[in-house]
Amino acid sequence: MCHAGLTDPNAPAVLHIEVEVDVPGGKMPATLYLPNTGKGPGISLLTDMYGPIPFYRAVASRLAAEGYVVLLSDYFFRQGRLPAETREEGFSRHSRSDEVTAIDDHAAAVSWLQRRPEVVQDRVGLLGFCLGGTIALNLCAAGANAVAVCYYAFPFSFGNPCRRKAPRPIDIASEISAPVLSHWGDADYIPLSEIEAFGAAMRKFGHPYTERVYSGAGHGFLAGLVERSGDSSAAHESWELTQAFFSRHLGGSR
């Protein structure tokens, strides 16, 4: 599922530092990735249920090389490390988590990022994957000063049970007024009917929303950036659109 077990040997080498973000009731470990200029617009990277695995560290490095200050947080820190990067262990850990708390933690992370001296403007980017994409939509609905790119988010909720579920994006579409770009594949297990219903709701309220659905692409198709597969075309096309979206709304070196 998603990007467990993937590494990216071509990820650029960038400066990164381990940090802690003050969140309600604790400190969330995170890594801050810096562009070679030392300053730039901020992006918070929200992972899938596996947390900050090597694939996401590579994505953060790619963005930093494009001129962004990227925060990669471990929002499952309360549940501890995964014994193994397997679907079963990932679902088991998620079942002990609280998605509403995860939203609060990421809101704190966005505020922390906005206050960093390396970040040059208040508006930041959110880049969310799978469950992280769903949380990014929740943050936009909660009024975060942000723009969002979501890969394979769940418009009708992440299916695995947990202690407390996040609001369903389809139910709060009227409140998601920030610019959003969403990527899905039509071979995903997320039903096309849910994707279409969410898009219709966003357009109904006149929000700046764009969706791309890639033919033949499955869940986790951005893996095609680092491995040759049938999803490689969708991966590269979507990544170009993602970079253009952030460049248009945030700036960066592009």
pLDDT at position 227? 84
> Does a structural domain hold residue 157?
yes
Active site residue 2: no
> Does a structural domain hold residue 61?
yes
Active site residue: 8, 105, 188, 231, which one?
A: 188
Where do we find the tokens 């609905």? 141
> Does a structural domain hold residue 2?
no
**Cα distances (angstroms) measured from residue 20 to each of 73, 113, 119:** 9, 11, 17
Active site residue 130: yes
Q: How many domains does the chain have?
A: 1
Question: What is the domain range of residue 20?
Answer: 16-249
Active site residue: 130, 140, 150, 162, which one?
A: 130
pLDDT at position 254? 54
Q: What's the whole-number mean pLDDT along residues 246-250?
A: 97
Least confident range from 82-91, 167-176, 178-187, 227-236: namely 227-236
The amino acid occupying position 68 is Y
> Does a structural domain hold residue 169?
yes
The CATH number assigned to the domain holding 156 equals: 3.40.50.1820
> Does a structural domain hold residue 215?
yes
Active site residue 188: yes
C-alpha span between 148 and 41 (Å, rounded): 13
Which region, left, alpha or beta, applies to residue 197 given φ > 0 means left and ψ of -120 to 50 means alpha?
A: alpha
> Does a structural domain hold residue 3?
no
Burial of residue 63 (CB within 10 Å: 0-12, 13-18, 19+) is buried
Does 1 score more than 70 pLDDT? no
Tens-digit pLDDT profile for residues 91-118? 999 999 999 999 999 999 999 999 999 9
- On whether the CB atoms of residues 149 and 127 are closer than 8 A, the answer is yes
The whole-model pTM stands at 0.97
> Does a structural domain hold residue 141?
yes
> Does a structural domain hold residue 9?
no
Mean pLDDT of the chain: 95
